[in-house]
Structure 1
Amino acid sequence: MMNISRLINFISIVVGGLVAFYAQAQEEQNTYILMGGVVLLVFGIYRTSRNIPSKHDNLEESFIKTEKEDEV
């Protein structure tokens, strides 16, 4: 089962994308609705990307461990 944080991320990405698409599809585009949809979309993507670990984290840790071992 999805936890609450992932569910919030997923819902904000889907709703933000739908709102932005809807605002873009109208003949008279409502800029504020389009901006709101984009902000919600970016918010969901940002929250999702915070939970993905960086590929550089493992390299720095292994470098520090080998450097400390060499000094001893």
Structure 2
Amino acid sequence: MKYLNYILIMIGAVIAIYSKAGANQNQYILIAGIIILMFGVYRISKTIPSKYSETDDDNENKEK
């Protein structure tokens, strides 16, 4: 599943670049490429843990 996210990002980027390359750019293809790219980035960002854990928040509240 991890590689699927990277593949989505690559496919979205290639589609967005391809639609932008021509003189007569197709905006619908560009939008589709950006959507696929952002979907891949969103899926990767869900797997990144939070900088602060719940135990850090509890310790800060007790000190105050």
TM-score, scaled to structure 2: 0.85
Please report the RMSD computed on the Cα atoms of aligned residues, expressed in angstroms: 1.7
State the 1:8 CA deviation: 1.1
State the 1:15 CA deviation: 0.4
Give 2:3's aligned residue: 7
User: Which letter maps to 2:28?
Assistant: Y
* Structure 2 unaligned residues grouped into runs of 5+: none
Runs of 4 or more, structure 1, over 4 Å off, are none
Q: How many residues align?
A: 62
State the 1:9 CA deviation: 0.2
Larger radius of gyration: 1
Give 2:56's aligned residue: 62
State the 1:62 CA deviation: 2.6
TM-score, scaled to structure 1: 0.76
Query: What fraction of aligned residue pairs are identical, expressed as a percent?
Result: 39
Cα deviation per residue 1:12-60 (whole Å; 9 max; x = unaligned)?
A: 0000000000001111000110000000000000000000001022xx4
Give 1:29's aligned residue: 25
